[in-house]
């Protein structure tokens, strides 16, 4: 597969229900960062010959992204509502070759409106549970 452009990677939020999802692209997106991580479990003992030994631990994922503030955008409103009501939502990160989907909590939402520049909203989403890749 060829290299992809950053503007071909974007975020969608489920504005429907879990049983009947409606995937809505968040408008005005500037960038998105999709992080996946894994912890480790230290199993080092006196017989490890001076080297750490580890087992794979729990995995995690998160998404952070910035978008221009579009106050009537359905995707923005859904995420803002999810934050206000402390509700988890389903999200997708779309690339040309894959869709990553999972449920997340809106960990933070910040807006900035600098003088002489466009207003921007920044979101941090913390995944909960497994992440599906199709």
Q: Average pLDDT by consecutive 10-residue portion of the chain (134 residues)?
A: 89 96 96 95 96 97 96 96 96 96 97 94 96 96
pLDDT at 131: 94
pLDDT at 61: 97
Q: Per-domain residue ranges for the chain?
A: 6-40+55-133
Give the pTM.
0.88
Inter-CA distances, 76 with 13, 61, 79, 122, 132, Å: 9, 21, 5, 11, 23
Which CATH topology does 6-40+55-133 take? Factor Xa Inhibitor (4.10.410)
pLDDT at 76: 95
pLDDT at 1: 66
């Amino acid at each position: 597969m060829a290299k992809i452009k950053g503007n071909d990677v974007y975020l969608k939020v489920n504005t429907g229900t879990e049983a009947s999802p409606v995937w809505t692209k968040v408008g005005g997106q500037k960038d998105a960062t999709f992080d996946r991580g894994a912890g480790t479990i230290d199993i080092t003992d006196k017989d490890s010959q001076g080297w750490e030994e580890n087992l794979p631990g729990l995995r995690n994922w998160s998404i952070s992204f910035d978008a221009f503030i579009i106050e009537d955008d359905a995707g923005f409103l859904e995420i803002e509502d999810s934050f206000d009501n402390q509700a988890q939502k389903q999200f997708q990160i779309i690339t040309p070759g894959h869709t990553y989907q999972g449920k997340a909590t809106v960990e933070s939402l910040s807006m900035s409106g600098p003088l002489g520049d466009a207003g921007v909203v920044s979101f941090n989403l913390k995944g909960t549970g497994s992440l599906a890749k199709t």
